[in-house]
């Protein structure tokens, strides 16, 4: 509805802009928008119109009206009613948000909280020097590489790595025993 009303306002502005003194009738903009004629009833929707009185007329006899009193005409009643309506204090609008929107906001908030916790943990782990020494990083690299291989190739690769580690251990042990 807002889109239609904005399009109508845009067309109205084009027409108003094209009108002016010294401009011929053929130079005035005519809307070619498909819904323009259908929505013309909204053209002056904010203009105040004369309303009919909904107050029932009280039938009084001319004899009952005293000299000091005057009878009210329909126009007087309408004017008084309009004055009362315009002078009525405006009510404060309370913020009434549907429960659905509140639930959606709380769900979004929960998601943001979880994301923040995950990022906080990741940041703490990144700043932790114990968790990222060279040996551990290399071990993680080897584990990632092994995961890509078939089970048989994984077993053969693990055996080759273990053989290398056993040789390194034996060299390390010989060096430590010769130092004593």
Instruction: Name every residue whose Cβ is closer than 8 Å to that of residue 14 and which is 6 or more positions away in sequence.
Output: 29, 31
Query: HSE (CB half, 13 Å, CA atoms) of 162?
Result: 6
- 125, 131 Cβ separation under 8 angstroms: yes
Q: What is the pLDDT of residue 84?
A: 52
Query: Which H or E run contains 100?
Result: helix 99-127
- 29, 14 Cβ separation under 8 angstroms: yes
Q: What is the pLDDT of residue 24?
A: 78
pTM of the model: 0.29
Q: What is the pLDDT of residue 122?
A: 81
Position of tokens 């948000």?
A: 97
Tens place of pLDDT per residue across the chain (180 aa): 788 888 888 888 888 888 877 777 777 888 888 887 777 777 777 777 777 777 765 554 444 444 444 455 555 655 665 555 555 555 555 555 556 666 677 777 888 888 889 988 888 776 665 656 788 888 889 999 999 999 999 999 999 999 999 999 999 888 888 766
Q: What is the pLDDT of residue 95?
A: 54
């Amino acid at each position: 509805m807002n889109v239609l009303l904005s399009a109508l306002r845009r067309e109205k502005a084009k027409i108003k802009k094209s009108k002016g003194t010294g401009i011929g009738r053929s130079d005035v903009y005519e809307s070619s928008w498909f819904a323009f004629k259908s929505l013309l009833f909204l053209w002056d929707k904010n203009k105040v119109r004369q309303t009919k009185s909904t107050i029932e007329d009280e039938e009084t006899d001319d004899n009952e009206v005293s000299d000091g009193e005057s009878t009210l005409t329909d126009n007087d009643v309408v004017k008084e009613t309009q004055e009362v309506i315009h002078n009525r204090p405006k009510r404060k609008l309370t913020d009434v948000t549907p429960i659905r929107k509140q639930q959606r906001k709380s769900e979004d908030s929960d998601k943001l909280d979880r994301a923040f916790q995950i990022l906080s943990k990741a940041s703490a782990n990144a700043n932790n020097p114990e968790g990222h020494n060279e040996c551990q990083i290399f071990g993680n690299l080897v584990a990632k590489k092994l995961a890509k291989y078939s089970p048989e190739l994984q077993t053969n690769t693990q055996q080759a790595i273990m053989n290398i580690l056993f040789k390194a251990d034996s060299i390390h042990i010989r060096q430590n025993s010769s130092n004593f």
